Amino acid sequence: MDDYTFAEALHDMYCRSSHIDYCGWEYEKAKEDMWTQKYSAHNTYLKYARNIREELPDYSPEDLIKVAKGIRAGMVSRYKGRWE
């Protein structure tokens, strides 16, 4: 799994915003620079994905998803807040 796919998975797990008014994820898909635009939702989640990978370089993609789900559930407090 590449960083972009991981970022999409993180967005699917974590975003609780209204995709009409508050999250630009769907709107940004029409833009060529969606991953590089400084304050885009895509860029934000890409940073999260890369930071988690950096913290856990030996984890498989499947294990990274498990960790991300654990963070969301509050079960992995060791990493909470460190990936922003």
Burial class (CB in 10 A: 0-12, 13-18, 19+), 42: buried
* pLDDT at residue number 43: 93
Q: In the chain, what is the greatest distance between 2 CA atoms, to the nearest angstrom?
A: 38
**Residue range 37-80, pLDDT digits in tens:** 888 989 999 998 998 888 888 998 888 888 888 776 655 445 54
Token pair 């993180």 is found at 10
* pLDDT at residue number 13: 86
**Residue range 55-65, pLDDT digits in tens:** 888 998 888 88
Across the range 20-30, mean pLDDT stands at 80
